Structure 1
Amino acid sequence: MPVNRWLLNLMFALLLLIYPAGPAAGEVKVYPETIRVGILQDVPSVTFDLSGMYRLVDENSGKVIADNAGESSWTAEAGRAGIVLMRNGSLYGEYVGPVIAEEKKVRFGIETGDGSLVQHDNLLGFAVSSGSEVDLRFLGKDTGTIYYVDGSGEVNRLAASESTGLVSINKNNQQKPYRGSLEIRRIGSLITAINELPIEEYLYGVVPAEMPVMFPIEALKAQAVTARSYIISQLGSYASYGFDVLDNQSNNIYGGFNQENPVSTRAVEETRGLVLVYRGQPVAAFYHASSGGFTDNSEDVWTNALGYIKAKPDPADANDKYYHWSVTYSASQLAQMVNSQLKTYWPDMNSYSSVTDLQEIESTAGGRVKKLLILGMDTNGSPQQVMVFNAERVRTILSLKSAMFTLSKTDDPDGNLSSVTITGNGWGHGLGMSQWGAAGLAGQGYSFQDILQYYYTGVDLVTYYGK
């Protein structure tokens, strides 16, 4: 359903009066520009391929293990005293570790038309010529064999992979390529694999994994800023494990090199270094697929109040994909599901032998159920009732797309609960930016800055590190 632009303009104006933005965008403290992503944790071994100019280094001693480690398949496993490496199936050696696979950067001097020399370490997109205008070859994946002269006068072969070195890690029986470096750590008798790379290149593999690339470019830019802001606020979350974040929904979904798309990469580049801050600190800019028409206060969905996450109407979120969903559970299915989910929070509680009723006790400002009473009988035949607090826990326990729902109950001829049909709107926790709402606003002509100021209250858009 199209959203009336006049109505949206009015809503923007009213919300900015109620929740004014902070001072104008500026500079904040400079933080690290790289991120460490946990790809595999506590596995017996890691198999990885190196494409490009890589070397392996034992971080403990600083010793170069293999100076030309590229174009090889490696396996790392825990040994008696360190990390055992196999190269192309043959034993290579054992090292204290951690073992780092790092790309050897090559700096190229490109002579411009006026005779000046410009330095580059990535030649992707450049072209070379033998002197004839017809013999022009662009450097890319089909470069073939080209030679260059380095600073010492030596002639070297240039491979396309030297423009973008890749580490391919075997995960879930699939080879997944990643930019940047790879660190192999031995923790006890198991191995952890960590991908370290620039935050911007990390985002190349995050934005298209989190938002459809066919969405408007301003929505993708908003997604890039929210993902960047969120992940920067999470740096060091898993420091005790040797990395910053995971590659899954616990943080951002990170698809690596194969997930990248030129459109989403453009969105990252055109917002390079921009983050949302609240009172001078990068915010955990939560986002979700669809709000169902209203976002919510953080304290109603989870537990902690966040000044920049407030309930707001979200008419631009209207879509055919995540609105008007429903699911029906029989009484036996409901008991089985509730028992399984409740025990993740309260492992020692008695199980329900039957669920006799569900009651919506309280809702959030955005219309999500934040208190749910579950009545029934326990396995000892005694009456049991459990009150579930906060909307996200309600959603989880009932295995729903959203906590924005209504209940329709059916009884059997004896008056006992037979089934429950749950009808709702939206998908996700409903906090911060709705991705479908962002697409709707972008389709109405709003910029990514407008979108971010709408969904996040009192924030500033600042440069996190130099562009």
Structure 2
Amino acid sequence: MQHRSGSRLVTFVLMVLLLFSISSTAFANTGDYRVRIGLVTNGESLGFRANANFQLVNLSTGTVISEVKSGEQWQIQKSNDALSIIKNGTQIGIFDSAVAVRQFTGKPVTIYSAESAAIASGSELFAVTDNGTVTNIGSNLNNLNIISSQGMSQISSGSSETGLLTLEGPSGSKRYRGELEFKIDGNGKMLAINVVPVEEYLYGVVPSEMPSSFGHEALKAQALAARTYALRATLAQPNKDYQLVATDASQVYGGFDAESSIVSRAIQETAGEIITYEGKPIDAVFFSSSGGFTENSEEIWRNFFPYLRWKEDPFDANNNHYNWVVNYTADQLTYQVNQGLARLGISQVFSKVNELEEVARTSSGARVRVMKIHGYSDDGGDLTLDISNADSVRIALGLKSSLFNFEQQMDEWGKFSSITITGSGWGHGIGLSQYGARGMAAQGYNYREILEYYYTGIKILPNYGL
């Protein structure tokens, strides 16, 4: 049907408003949260490859530097405070600003002809993207694939194949979804950052953190914990170059190569669900095995969280992390304590440790919360250090858990010679126990019941809490 010229603007505006309304509703219902993971935080020379059609984009100007095609070998090298970009052995430029490698997918956009409700060659076309942006795309239909031509049509150009990027760095090669950004940060370090929708990020996190054999409901519980952790971290520091790293300093993230179809199904079935307390995402910390008790947050670390409270954990019992034994000679204990203190950022060094003294336990009575380490300093003087929370005790002694007892042995001259430590559990002991989730799932509990057991007073909300 032909429109009179005087009605074109009104019709166009109404259509834009309708499309923007639909787009906004869809965004609010699904969320499009993207997370930023620092894969390499101090690189010198990195390589990448693509399995589909990508583009290398200058993030400062928004211009496309080059197409990136399957089979090409690219390198990003640090050149003073700039990025030297090399394609198949030939340098194509040096850039002061950050660059991104993004897949050229030709994501469908809604188009509208000002001349006709039907799309025809020669018509003046307008594109309305999924965020409501309107662009006049002229009348060139070359390389456009018209998906529908009834009133409002969709067009796409390029490949719809799910693209993967292989990053070649100091720890080997791994494939990732999403895009890669490269930049020199304010400290002169070269960064490689994976920017990816949070749900796709979880595909590489959950199987890296929990075996698929732990049961479907346990995997769903882990998915919510990991999603909530990532969202909270992203919201807490939105202006940082990245909010997460790929190691257990955040959550272990193995990228595409870690994915499992069994685990992905658990993620998809809980898409957008997060754990909240008083309407805000919780610090959804988790660990491997409780040893029979979880703990209050302030006794393991320092901060009080009302949803991280201690409780007995009968569901966690397992043969992998219960009833372990560690034996140290005096020299081995001295070495281990010095290593642990360095990890904790404590500069003192023992020339010899000659006694451990338990001072206090956590509220559950299970874990050692405060311990004194007695011995001698490098200059031969007496040295005593107070280790003042349970996780620091675990790290200082190099143990799987701070849930332990110990017995010290003396030699024939009454001097400390060795120590036997017996304990249970693996990890800090706050929040979700992964082996406990496995046990609850095996007994028929669903993921909501699992999470409500390990996190006190929480609510599970859909749509990322919107």
Whether TM-score is above 0.5 comes out as: yes
TM-score, length-normalised on structure 2?
Answer: 0.80
Contact between 2:343 and 2:395, CA under 8 Å: does it hold in 1? no
SS at match of 1:234: helix
Which stretch of structure 1 is more off in the superposition, 237-246 or 181-190?
237-246
Percent identity, please. Answer: 36
Note the C-alpha offset of 1:447: 0.2
Residue of structure 2 equivalent to 1:431: 430
Q: Deviations over 1:176-226 (max 9, x none)?
A: 000001111023654211110100000000000000011110000000000
Contact between 2:341 and 2:347, CA under 8 Å: does it hold in 1? no
Contact between 1:55 and 1:70, CA under 8 Å: does it hold in 2? no
TM-score, length-normalised on structure 1?
Answer: 0.80
Q: Which has the larger radius of gyration?
A: 2
Q: What root-mean-square deviation, in Å, do the aligned CA atoms of Structure 1 and Structure 2 show?
A: 2.6
Contact between 1:236 and 1:243, CA under 8 Å: does it hold in 2? no
SS at match of 1:214: helix
Residue of structure 2 equivalent to 1:191: 190
Residue of structure 1 equivalent to 2:89: 89
Say whether 1:221 aligns with 2:216. no
The residue correspondences of 1:114-125 to structure 2 (distance < 5 A) are none
Amino acid at match of 1:37: I
The residue correspondences of 1:26-425 to structure 2 (distance < 5 A) are 33-79=33-79, 82-107=82-107, 150-151=145-146, 162-187=160-185, 189-235=188-234, 242-345=241-344, 347-349=346-348, 351-366=349-364, 367-425=366-424
Which stretch of structure 1 is more off in the superposition, 232-241 or 166-175?
232-241
Which stretch of structure 1 is more off in the superposition, 400-409 or 243-252?
243-252
Note the C-alpha offset of 1:163: 2.2
Amino acid at match of 1:304: N
For the residues of structure 2 that align with 1:316 and 1:325, how far apart are their CA atoms? 18
For the residues of structure 1 that align with 2:145 and 2:30, how far apart are their CA atoms? 34
Structure 1 pair 440/173, CA: closer, same or farther in 2 (3 Å)? closer
Structure 1 pair 466/455, CA: closer, same or farther in 2 (3 Å)? closer
For the residues of structure 1 that align with 2:322 and 2:86, how far apart are their CA atoms? 52
Structure 1 stretches of at least 4 aligned residues deviating more than 6 Å after TM superposition = 28-31, 156-159
Amino acid at match of 2:53: M
Higher relative contact order (CA 8 A, sep 6+): 1
For the residues of structure 1 that align with 2:375 and 2:347, how far apart are their CA atoms? 17
For the residues of structure 1 that align with 2:108 and 2:176, how far apart are their CA atoms? 23
Structure 2 residues without counterparts, runs of 5 or longer: 1-27, 110-142, 149-155
Which stretch of structure 1 is more off in the superposition, 361-370 or 298-307?
361-370
For the residues of structure 2 that align with 1:305 and 1:209, how far apart are their CA atoms? 28
Note the C-alpha offset of 1:466: 8.8
How many corresponding residue pairs? 398
Contact between 1:205 and 1:260, CA under 8 Å: does it hold in 2? yes
Amino acid at match of 1:422: I
Q: Deviations over 1:238-263 (max 9, x none)?
A: 66651121111111100000000001
Contact between 1:218 and 1:447, CA under 8 Å: does it hold in 2? yes
Structure 1 pair 79/352, CA: closer, same or farther in 2 (3 Å)? closer
Contact between 1:39 and 1:193, CA under 8 Å: does it hold in 2? yes
For the residues of structure 1 that align with 2:231 and 2:463, how far apart are their CA atoms? 9
Residue of structure 2 equivalent to 1:132: none
Structure 1 pair 388/459, CA: closer, same or farther in 2 (3 Å)? same
Amino acid at match of 1:169: L
Contact between 1:238 and 1:245, CA under 8 Å: does it hold in 2? no
Note the C-alpha offset of 1:314: 0.6
Note the C-alpha offset of 1:107: 4.4
For the residues of structure 2 that align with 1:151 and 1:38, how far apart are their CA atoms? 38
For the residues of structure 1 that align with 2:306 and 2:460, how far apart are their CA atoms? 16
